[in-house]
């Protein structure tokens, strides 16, 4: 079985974001980057599947971006992926989800992957489009927001998270693509011996120009912080009047008492 | 020249940081209060490979380098100075001399258990009357056929209470001073080994500091480390590398205290604004951070020099001195920034203040470091 995991490197979400000079993305200087959280679930699940199936099965991890994304690839290799693919693109943040999906699909098309794992969305752009668009580009069945995963003899049994805490179960035959959600698993820590082993694993570098043939379909118009909130309302006066005022506000301005 | 960590070192640092945040940080107060590191945590750290970071893979270590080791000790110590010194004393003072001075048989026999944390290592050098002046030691050994018989006592043994593998120093003739000293690999669970006490300390309270008595402790003659009479050299060279471990521990304690002080200064409001708006606090933060960065540069440089097989004796003395004094300074200021809350255990900086002090004392007091540095300057 050939497995592909697609990962993205994103800024640490505790960073302070500032719009960059062009005003369509954030300033990347001085930010700390790490693997997108949802992609960690994808890597973990792919590695667990390999452990279930045995060493003859291979997990490839792919990431698109500047040189720094190799750190995320190395982490995935230290978690147990077998080989890495770095699609070199210093301007990946300017590409829309359609183009990112097209790059992945162009790489994967003739490789015969039986299963592709992606995160359900990235923590920075959060479009949640890349996984499903790759499936569409490759003509694969796809199931999303996995919180449970089992594989047996060519069939995936996927537990999906639906609205309001409701879960659904989907069965899908490979080849297929799945996107992973919080709750699917607890990703392992890369251990020191595995970090050492990862150093010896191959990372293939491919210039983005070799894979990308698509124009962007969407463009980001602007990137800006939310407007500053005004201060709260302070009610003053007799308790009885205060209660009436408060109930009035809750009725008029919120859904609490409707 | 390049001052940036390699991508491999960044992956390592982030992985260790994640582990420390989730697995060690929540236990740090308990470790201090109960004067012990839970077995389960030692097992988890061992599984992570923290006990054999730079021991080669053929002896079941991770096979990484000295800089990786420094980063591990630093990151662990940010949350818990006791856990940091467990790793540092184990790696630098027990694994390292076996790896550097041991025969192939000794490496194969002892390193795998140590590098995987099945046994915790320690060095048995200090005696009640022998601290900085190692040549005056009085623990005696004598040969009896294929055995070495040891009598005497050792004190202040970091990790001693774990009763794992020790590097024990003893003399066969006190009049020979440092030339009479040899080093032996001992199993501390052997008959003839008695724990006199585990000390109660000001800081790093989770770390064992043990006093031992040896009464006809018999070990195979094959456990002699290096050659007879080489003990003093082994001790000095071992402490050289150990200083990088202690510098990393000090750096971590300082970093942990700084992170807390910075966060607290943004949250704590007085006079209608966060206290970080006050220049008195801002100057403290600037001084603290600058000193941490300076200590980090010299510590990483010493590790880098060891990795590149350069003579790092002076740098290891400087980094130990510089980082430990940074740690006591930064933790003191961190308590001050926290005000009254800094004196309360729940805020953890008081523990870091207590933990920091020992880094100026052990593995060569800072006075000894100054002697080492000035001797090299004037040689």
Q: Could you tell me the domains of chain B? A: 7-115 (1.10.540.10), 121-231 (2.40.110.10), 232-378 (1.20.140.10)
- Flag if B53 and A190 touch (Cβ within 8 Å): no
* Mutate which: B10, B11, B59, B67, vs A, most A CBs within 10 A: B11
Structurally, how many domains does chain A consist of? Answer: 1
Q: Is A70 on the interface with B (CB under 8 A)?
A: yes
Is A235 part of any domain?
A: no
Handedness of CA A25, A30, A34, A38 (dihedral sign): negative
Residues A205, A255: Cα–Cα separation, whole Å: 53
Nearest to B8 among A34, A68, A74 (CB): A74
Q: How far is CA B44 from the centre of its chain?
A: 19
Q: Is A186 on the interface with B (CB under 8 A)?
A: no
Q: Is A199 on the interface with B (CB under 8 A)?
A: yes
Q: What is the pLDDT along chain B (379 residues), one digit of tens a residue?
A: 889 999 999 999 999 999 999 999 999 999 999 999 999 999 999 999 999 999 999 999 999 999 999 999 999 999 999 999 999 999 999 999 999 999 999 999 999 999 999 999 999 999 999 888 888 999 999 999 999 999 999 999 999 999 999 999 999 999 999 999 999 999 999 999 999 999 999 999 999 999 999 999 999 999 999 999 999 999 999 998 899 999 999 999 999 999 999 999 999 999 999 999 999 999 999 999 999 999 999 999 999 999 999 999 999 999 999 999 999 999 999 999 999 999 999 999 999 999 999 999 999 999 999 999 999 999 9
Q: What range does the domain containing A103 cover?
A: 2-210
**Cα separations (Å) of B106 from A20, A240, B149, B184, B191?**
59, 84, 19, 11, 21
Q: Is A205 on the interface with B (CB under 8 A)?
A: no
Strand partners, B114: none
For helices B231-267 and B279-307, the axis angle rounded to 10 degrees is 150
Coil, strand or helix at A51: helix
Residue A47: CATH number of its domain: 3.40.50.620
pLDDT of residue A5: 98
Is A223 part of any domain?
A: no
- Flag if A195 and B10 touch (Cβ within 8 Å): no
Nearest to A196 among B7, B14, B62 (CB): B62
Handedness of CA A185, A186, A191, A196 (dihedral sign): positive
For helices A69-79 and A192-199, the axis angle rounded to 10 degrees is 120
Is A150 part of any domain?
A: yes
Interface A-B, measured as beta-carbon pairs within 8 A, has a size of 55
Is A184 part of any domain?
A: yes
Residues B164, B60: Cα–Cα separation, whole Å: 17
> What are residue A31's phi and psi, to 5 degrees?
-85, 150
Residues A257, A247: Cα–Cα separation, whole Å: 8
Closest-CA distance, A201 to chain B, in angstroms, reads: 12
Is A244 part of any domain?
A: no
Per DSSP bridges, beta strands B269-270 and B273-274 are antiparallel
Under 8 Å CB-to-CB from A14, ≥6 apart: which residues? none
- Flag if A189 and B18 touch (Cβ within 8 Å): yes
Q: Is A1 on the interface with B (CB under 8 A)?
A: no
Closest-CA distance, A196 to chain B, in angstroms, reads: 6
Residues B67, B221: Cα–Cα separation, whole Å: 35
Is A228 part of any domain?
A: no
B363 is catalytic: yes
Nearest to A75 among B11, B19, B72 (CB): B11
Under 8 Å CB-to-CB from A210, ≥6 apart: which residues? none
Is A218 part of any domain?
A: no
Residues of B whose CB is below 8 A from A195: 8, 11-12, 15, 49, 62, 64
Is A217 part of any domain?
A: no
- Flag if B11 and A34 touch (Cβ within 8 Å): no
For helices B231-267 and B313-338, the axis angle rounded to 10 degrees is 30
Q: How far is CA B196 from the centre of its chain?
A: 22
Task: Give the tens place of pLDDT for each residue, A39-69.
Answer: 999 999 999 999 999 989 999 999 999 999 9
Options B74, B127, B333, B363, the catalytic residue: B363
pTM for the structure as a whole: 0.93
- Flag if B7 and A74 touch (Cβ within 8 Å): yes
């Amino acid at each position: 079985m050939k497995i592909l995991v697609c990962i993205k490197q994103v800024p640490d979400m505790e960073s302070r974001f500032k719009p960059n000079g062009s005003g369509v993305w954030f300033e990347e200087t001085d930010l700390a980057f790490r693997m997108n959280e949802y992609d960690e679930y994808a890597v973990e699940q792919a590695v667990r599947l390999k452990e279930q199936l045995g060493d003859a099965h291979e997990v490839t991890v792919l990431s698109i971006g500047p040189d720094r994304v190799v750190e995320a690839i190395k982490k995935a290799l230290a978690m147990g992926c077998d080989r890495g693919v770095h699609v070199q693109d210093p301007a990946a943040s300017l590409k829309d989800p359609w183009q990112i999906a097209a790059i992945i699909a162009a790489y994967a098309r003739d490789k015969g992957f039986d299963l592709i794992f992606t995160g359900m969305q990235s923590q920075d752009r959060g479009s949640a489009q890349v996984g499903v668009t790759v499936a569409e580009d490759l003509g694969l069945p796809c199931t999303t927001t996995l919180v449970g995963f089992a594989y047996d003899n060519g069939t995936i049994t996927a537990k999906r998270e639906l609205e309001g805490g409701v879960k659904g179960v989907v069965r899908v035959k490979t080849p297929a693509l799945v996107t992973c959600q919080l709750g699917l698993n607890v990703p392992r820590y890369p251990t020191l011996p595995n970090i050492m082993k990862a150093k010896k694993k191959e990372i293939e570098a491919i210039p983005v120009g070799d894979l990308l043939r698509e124009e962007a379909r969407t463009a980001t118009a602007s990137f800006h912080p939310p407007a500053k909130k005004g201060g709260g309302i302070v009610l003053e006066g007799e308790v009885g009047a205060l209660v009436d005022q408060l109930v009035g506000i809750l009725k008029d301005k919120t859904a609490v008492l409707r | 020249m390049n001052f940036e960590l390699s991508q491999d070192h960044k992956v390592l640092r982030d992985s260790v940081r994640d582990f420390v945040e989730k697995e060690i940080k929540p236990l740090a107060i308990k470790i201090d209060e109960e004067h012990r590191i839970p077995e389960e945590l030692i097992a988890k750290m061992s599984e992570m490979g923290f006990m054999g970071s730079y021991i080669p893979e053929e002896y079941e270590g991770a096979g990484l380098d000295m800089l990786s080791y420094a980063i591990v000790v630093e990151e662990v110590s940010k949350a818990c100075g006791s856990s940091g010194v467990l790793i540092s004393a184990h790696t630098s003072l027990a694994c390292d001399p076996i790896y550097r001075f041991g025969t192939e048989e000794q490496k194969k026999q002892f390193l795998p258990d140590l590098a995987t944390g099945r046994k915790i290592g320690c060095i048995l050098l200090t005696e009640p009357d022998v601290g900085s002046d190692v040549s005056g030691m009085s623990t005696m050994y004598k040969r009896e056929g294929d055995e070495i018989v040891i009598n005497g006592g050792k004190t202040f043994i970091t990790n001693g209470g774990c009763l794992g593998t020790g590097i024990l120093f003893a003399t066969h003739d006190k009049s020979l001073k440092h030339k009479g000293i040899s080093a032996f690999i001992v199993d501390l669970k052997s008959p003839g080994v008695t724990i006199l006490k585990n000390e109660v300390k000001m800081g790093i309270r989770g770390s064992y500091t043990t006093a031992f008595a040896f009464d006809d402790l018999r070990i195979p003659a094959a456990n002699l480390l290096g050659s007879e009479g080489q003990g003093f050299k082994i001790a000095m060279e071992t402490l050289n590398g150990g200083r990088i471990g202690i510098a990393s521990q000090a750096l971590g304690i300082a970093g942990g205290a700084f992170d807390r002080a910075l966060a607290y200064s943004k949250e704590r409001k007085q006079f209608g604004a966060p206290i970080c708006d006050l220049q008195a606090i801002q100057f403290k933060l600037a001084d603290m951070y600058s000193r941490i960065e300076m200590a980090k540069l010299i510590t990483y440089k010493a590790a880098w020099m060891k990795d590149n097989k350069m003579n790092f004796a002076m740098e290891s003395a400087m980094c130990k001195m510089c980082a430990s004094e940074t740690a006591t300074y930064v933790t003191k200021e961190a308590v001050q920034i926290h005000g009254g809350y800094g004196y309360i255990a729940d805020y953890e900086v008081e523990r870091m203040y207590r933990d920091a002090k020992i880094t100026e004392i052990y593995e060569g007091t800072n006075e000894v470091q100054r002697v080492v540095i000035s001797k090299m300057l004037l040689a």
